[in-house]
């Protein structure tokens, strides 16, 4: 990459990616467009381009993760960055060190970017204001998970050809879901119609004000939607009885083949993972012909490559030629 953040014009996304709420539709479209040429890199025998050579990225994870952590790690390595993973469980956080002190020590080791997953809503924005490195939010509490929503948008656009006018229903534990919030912001900005479907206890107050209509029954959602984004119950964030039992939840809100068979057309099925098969989604649906759940995972690497590239000051117009470099 010829440009450096210090000498080039301001990066088109700004310094950090903390959520989709602050982004414009054109910034979201720019990320999706930039991801397209980077997707091809992962299909090569040697999956590497020298775009972020010399950059150091720290993946700082205070919560467990499979997909997001590995996807960022692959994206960084495929862009030739030097990457380090820090988990709170094996760092000095366990001795009481704060997030900011941890990050300042990383800064003292001359890093360039931090990818942060944290249990506290607002942690990524808090850190972004306090360190000069680029900060990317990999999920902060129940606030936002912007790169998950971006890869969901990429997958929808890839399948349908456009996002504008699509009817997308997010179904499940909306209350505790950062994926739902980022998807609602992203879909609405890109011109989709957005709905949510959940038990009353798992709907956040004011969800309609975010631009989503509400369905109380899966049957109504299935009749209306072009695509369902199915979310798991976040039992680890629940204190108290939000649903009578998992069996009861599956009976009333589970996405089953039987329910989908009543839809007027086949629905595209998305799920951010991890799935709880037999609770929010049945295996026949998750593994069925209309599921793009594993395609979402593949697309996640390209989308994260695009975010890293743009935040590092890469020129959007050069993304295609940069991705074509061996």
- What's the rounded Cα separation, in Å, for the pair 302 and 313? 17
Chosen residue from 37, 141, 172, 272 binding ligand CP by CB under 6 A: 272
Name which of residues 126 to 165 contact ligand CP (CB under 6 A).
139, 145, 148
Between 306 and 319, name the residue whose CB sits nearer to ligand CP: 306
Between 36 and 234, name the residue whose CB sits nearer to ligand CP: 234
Residue 67: active-site member: yes
Residue 102: active-site member: no
Residue 277: active-site member: no
What are φ and ψ of residue 111, in 5° steps? -85, 170
Tokens read off for 162: 């456009």
Q: Which stretch binds ligand CP (CB under 6 A): 65-73, 103-111, 204-212, 248-256?
A: 65-73
Q: 118, 145, 157, 259: which is the annotated catalytic residue?
A: 145
Residue 66: active-site member: no
The nearest distance, CB 273 to ligand CP, in angstroms, is 5
Q: Which stretch binds ligand CP (CB under 6 A): 61-69, 225-233, 302-310, 317-325?
A: 61-69
Contact 221, 171 (CB under 8 A): yes
Q: What are the DSSP calls for 236-285, one per residue?
A: GG--S-SSS-HHHHHHHH-B-HHHHTTSSSPPEEE--S---BTTTB-HHH
Helix (H, G, I), strand (E, B) or coil at 214: strand
- What's the rounded Cα separation, in Å, for the pair 115 and 28? 19
Q: Which stretch binds ligand CP (CB under 6 A): 7-15, 153-161, 203-211, 268-276?
A: 268-276
Closest CA to 149 of 307, 291, 11: 307
Q: 15, 48, 67, 77: which is the annotated catalytic residue?
A: 67
Q: Which stretch binds ligand CP (CB under 6 A): 42-50, 96-104, 107-115, 267-275?
A: 267-275
The nearest distance, CB 271 to ligand CP, in angstroms, is 9
Cβ neighbors of 123 (< 8 A, separation 6 or more) are: 62, 99, 116, 140, 141
Does 235 sit near ligand CP (CB under 6 A)?
Answer: no
- What's the rounded Cα separation, in Å, for the pair 106 and 116? 13
The nearest distance, CB 270 to ligand CP, in angstroms, is 11
- What's the rounded Cα separation, in Å, for the pair 247 and 197? 18
Between 78 and 259, name the residue whose CB sits nearer to ligand CP: 78
**Count of residues touching ligand CP (by CB under 6 A):** 10
- Interface ranges with ligand CP (CB under 6 A): 65-68, 139, 145, 148, 272-274
């Amino acid at each position: 990459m010829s440009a450096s953040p210090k000498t080039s014009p301001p990066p088109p996304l700004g310094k950090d990616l903390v959520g989709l709420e602050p982004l414009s539709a054109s910034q979201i479209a720019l990320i999706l467009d930039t991801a397209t040429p980077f997707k091809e890199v992962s299909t090569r025998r040697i999956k590497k381009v020298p775009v972020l050579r010399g950059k150091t990225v720290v993946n700082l994870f205070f919560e467990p993760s499979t997909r997001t952590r590995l996807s960022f790690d692959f994206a960084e390595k495929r862009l030739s960055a030097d990457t380090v993973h820090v988990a709170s469980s094996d760092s000095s956080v366990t001795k009481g060190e704060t997030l900011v002190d941890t990050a300042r020590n990383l800064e003292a080791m001359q890093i360039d970017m931090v990818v942060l997953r944290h249990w506290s809503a607002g942690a990524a924005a808090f850190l972004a204001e306090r360190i000069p490195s680029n900060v990317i939010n990999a999920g902060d509490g129940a606030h936002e998970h912007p790169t998950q929503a971006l890869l969901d948008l990429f997958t929808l656009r890839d399948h349908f050809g456009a996002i504008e006018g699509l009817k997308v229903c997010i179904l499940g534990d909306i209350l505790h879901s950062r994926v739902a919030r980022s998807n609602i912001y992203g879909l609405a900005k890109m011109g989709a119609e957005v709905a949510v479907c959940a038990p009353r206890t798992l709907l956040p107050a004011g969800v309609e004000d975010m631009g989503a209509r509400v369905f109380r029954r899966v049957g109504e959602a299935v009749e209306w939607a072009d695509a369902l984004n199915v979310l798991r119950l976040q039992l680890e964030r629940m204190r108290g009885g939000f649903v009578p039992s998992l069996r009861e939840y599956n009976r009333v809100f589970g996405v089953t083949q039987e329910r989908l068979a009543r839809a007027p057309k086949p629905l595209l099925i998305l799920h951010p993972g991890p799935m709880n098969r037999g609770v929010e989604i049945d295996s026949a649906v998750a593994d069925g012909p209309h599921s793009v759940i594993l395609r979402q995972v593949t697309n996640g690497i390209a989308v994260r490559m695009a975010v890293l590239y743009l935040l590092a000051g890469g020129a959007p117009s050069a993304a295609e030629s940069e991705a074509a470099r061996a």
